[in-house]
Structure 1
């Protein structure tokens, strides 16, 4: 999907500003926030929240700041790395057109990497796994940047970039917890499988995106793509739909799941239909659909937070509004900056 920039000629400063928005793929930032918040809330299903609400808000702000800067590091590093490729296949982009120098874009990428690490420093004081996850995230970004024009296996580090956001949010929140909540379910398999579901979903998008531009020939492998996109239906709902905990009011977990399932299946099926005529539009829609992957877990999160009495959410029934609002914001921003 191409951005709806003003039809009249832009001034040089305005064009350079829009270039930064395009390089940063800022329309995808809300999906990053949705991933991190989902991991954070899953932690609060199993770990008690600290008494200080202010501390929780600081934790969320640091997590969102670190993940956002890591994402922007990846997008700017990608354009820096692909400058020679873009000269041949995408000469209208910022670096080949001469509006931004390759050195400047590389410098901005480095600044975002430093800021991402800096945001994690306060969170690292209480849990060694947090900086390890941050380092793994940045390493996955670098690996994808190096490999993505060379081999289809680059979809794995790209998927890891998303799959690691759940554990980053989860373990950061867990490290600030005074103790475990009274739950019989082990949270570790939950967050690992959710991360795996996110990994394979984004790997599918990345596989399709390889056919969007450049010298790649052939058609998108649709059977493999369908498997990768729909695997999250299992990884994101099994842990709470299994009946491993008591539901307030005796509500059926399957019934609670139906709206989220319907929204995800409809949006993804519609995106696959659009794939027949436009790979870029499919990728853009499916990137926004990452928030619907998160939404699959939210009925269970809402039920469990009612049990643990999470202080930041007096009405857990409103929780699904978080990923849905992030999705709407992502779609709105796609009209300003391209998603890919």
Structure 2
């Protein structure tokens, strides 16, 4: 008798579970934090990026594990309810990714680990309980802000770099808060007030990103270089505004599930130009350009795998 061949893992299902296109929005958190800290990215920054990626993917796997019953009713095509990925495998992946993320943060130094621990706690708390409460968007915003601070803690010595990066973390958290609030209605649609609030948030952030940074970020910089930095920052901030605002406007005019999902997808994609603008605002144009390069990669993969 011929034994049937054992099927290997469904790679496309795992790519959907882990939201592969959204993964490109993660390194920019750490790079923006490193830029805001005033330090120069190095090996510890790379370790922090690895930690951030692991913790993000832990959150993606844990999210679908926690939502498997709800997805069975609303999104049966998702990897867990469709049977393409076993729930136990998703939970194991979340656990392994969390452990790997904390281990990499420890290698990046004690300050980085001190940020990674509450970041991991925020990820698990959000997915296992806070997501369905009014505190859900704030918890997700806190996780993104901590992710940026992880880059600052890994790149600069002591706690002062974390304090320097706090304003950038607040801007990133504000964007995340707005996107997460919209995402709570992506399967049902609803009131136009939430996408309108997200639209207003994108406008306010664009203004703040376009403002010239403080003297610490530009001290000692020649005037032509400052002018070039201003132009780069303004251009990237405009890209952020277009990416984030247009789908929010459409969702506000017609808050259907389809347009609400597009608003969420646009908000996720807009994270990359936001991170790049934060790098430029901190006086790190090279890091800003490096971050911008991640945007077309995310768009390319989003054509094959859903970003939400």
Normalized per residue, which structure has more helix? 2
Tell me how far apart the structure 2 counterparts of residues 148 and 216 of structure 1 sit (CA, whole Å). 21
Residue 241 of structure 1 is matched in structure 2 by 213
Residue 167 of structure 2 is matched in structure 1 by 193
The answer on whether the counterparts of 2:196 and 2:248 sit within 8 Å (CA) in structure 1 is: no
Q: Which runs of 4+ in 1 moved over 4 A?
A: 12-15, 186-189, 234-238, 252-256
Tell me how far apart the structure 2 counterparts of residues 205 and 325 of structure 1 sit (CA, whole Å). 22
Name the CA shift for 1:188/1:133 in 2 (closer, same or farther; >3 Å). closer
Residue 272 of structure 1 is matched in structure 2 by 248
SS in 2 for 1:297: helix
| Aligned: 1:203 with 2:177 | yes
Return the offset for 1:261.
2.8
Tell me how far apart the structure 2 counterparts of residues 93 and 134 of structure 1 sit (CA, whole Å). 29
Residue 33 of structure 1 is matched in structure 2 by 27
Return the offset for 1:199.
0.7
Return the offset for 1:118.
1.2
Q: Deviations over 1:172-226 (max 9, x none)?
A: 1113x9xx9xxxxx8555411111111110111111111111x564345234222
Alignment of 1:52-131 (within 5 A): 57-124=42-109, 127=110, 129-131=111-113
Tell me how far apart the structure 2 counterparts of residues 166 and 188 of structure 1 sit (CA, whole Å). 9
* Aligned counterpart in structure 2 of residue 23 of structure 1, from 4, 8, 17: 17
Alignment size in residue pairs? 294
Q: Deviations over 1:310-339 (max 9, x none)?
A: xxxxxxx54432121111111111112211
> After the TM superposition, which of the residue ranges 267-276 and 24-33 deviates more from structure 2?
267-276
Tell me how far apart the structure 2 counterparts of residues 223 and 116 of structure 1 sit (CA, whole Å). 36
Return the offset for 1:114.
0.9
The one of the two structures with greater contact order (alpha-carbon pairs below 8 A, sep at least 6) is: 1
Name the CA shift for 1:97/1:261 in 2 (closer, same or farther; >3 Å). closer
Q: Deviations over 1:35-67 (max 9, x none)?
A: 111212332x3x4x5xxxxxx643233112110
Tell me how far apart the structure 1 counterparts of residues 121 and 208 of structure 2 sit (CA, whole Å). 25
The answer on whether the counterparts of 1:237 and 1:297 sit within 8 Å (CA) in structure 2 is: no
* Aligned counterpart in structure 1 of residue 278 of structure 2, from 262, 272, 297: 297
Residue 336 of structure 1 is matched in structure 2 by 304
Alignment of 1:151-230 (within 5 A): 151-175=133-157, 189-213=163-187, 217-230=190-203
Gaps of 5+ in 1: 1-11, 50-55, 181-185, 306-316
Name the CA shift for 1:15/1:218 in 2 (closer, same or farther; >3 Å). farther
> After the TM superposition, which of the residue ranges 324-333 and 246-255 deviates more from structure 2?
246-255
* Aligned counterpart in structure 2 of residue 285 of structure 1, from 259, 262, 266: 266
